[in-house]
Amino acid sequence: GNSVTQMEGPVTLSEEAFLTINCTYTATGYPSLFWYVQYPGEGLQLLLKATKADDKGSNKGFEATYRKETTSFHLEKGSVQVSDSAVYFCALTPPGGGADGLTFGKGTHLIIQP
Amino acid sequence: GAGVSQTPSNKVTEKGKYVELRCDPISGHTALYWYRQSLGQGPEFLIYFQGTGAADDSGLPNDRFFAVRPEGSVSTLKIQRTERGDSAVYLCASSLNGGAGSTDTQYFGPGTRLTVL
C-alpha cells in the first residue's frame, strides 16, 4: 500500500537557521505530493504541493522538489522564523484509480528558538 | 468566506455509547473527507464522499463506523458502541471537486476531539 515516512521530531533550530525536513514515500505509479502545516491551536492547512516528477512546490519561503528517482519530497527553508514553529505533515494522493484520501506521515514538530 | 466547521469541538462519552460528529464543508465543495488522527500520528483516511454518495469507504475501521451526507453538503460521522480505542481527533476536509487522482486542495476543519472513557 501507500505510505509516507518523515523524520522524527521534535526538530529544534535557532532563528535564521536552514531547515530540512526529510520525507520519502512508497506508492504505485506517480502520486501527487503535499506538505501540510498545523500551527498551534489551528487546523491543518496546505503549505505546498507538487503533482509530477521534478515539480517544485513553494510557499512562504518553503520549497520542496518532487524527486521520483529517490521517491522523496524534502521540505526546505533557507532562514526559519519563530513563527514557523508548527507540526509539518508530508502527504500523498495516488494517481487516478487509487483511494481518494490523503496518506499522511506521522508529522514533524518544528520548534524555532529566538 | 467560511471554512470547514465541525461540531462539537469536544465530545466525551462512555464506552458502549453512540456518538455523532458533524461536518459543514465549504459551500460549493462537492468532495468531503473524514480522517482520524490519534495522538502523535498523522491523520488516517476514513471515508470520501462525492456529492451524496460514499465514493470510497475503504478507511473505515469496522462496521461500527458509518457516515452519511444526505443532501451533498453537511456530513455526519456516526460511531456505534464506542470503544476506548476510538478516542482521537476526527477531522473533516472538503475540496472543490475531488475524485480519483484529484490534486484539488483539501481544506480541513478544526476537528472534533472524541474521548471515550
The reply to whether A99 touches chain B by the CB within 8 Å rule is: yes
Q: Which residue of B has its CA nearest to A33?
A: B103
The type of residue at A53 is A
Question: A72: burial class by Cβ within 10 Å (0-12, 13-18, 19+)?
Answer: middle
Q: How far is CA B69 from CA A66, A67, B22, B73, in A?
A: 35, 38, 10, 6
For residue B8, cis peptide bond before it (omega within 30 degrees of 0)? yes
DSSP code at position B78: E
pLDDT value at residue A94: 80
Please say whether the beta carbons of B25 and B94 come within 8 A.
yes
The reply to whether A40 touches chain B by the CB within 8 Å rule is: no
List of chain A residues with pLDDT < 50: 97-98
Q: Are strands A103-104 and A19-21 parallel, antiparallel or unpaired?
A: unpaired
CB-closest option in B42, B56, B100 to A106: B42
**Alpha carbon B76 to its chain's center:** 7
* Mean pLDDT, each 10-residue run in order, chain B (117 residues): 90 98 96 94 93 88 96 96 97 85 84 97
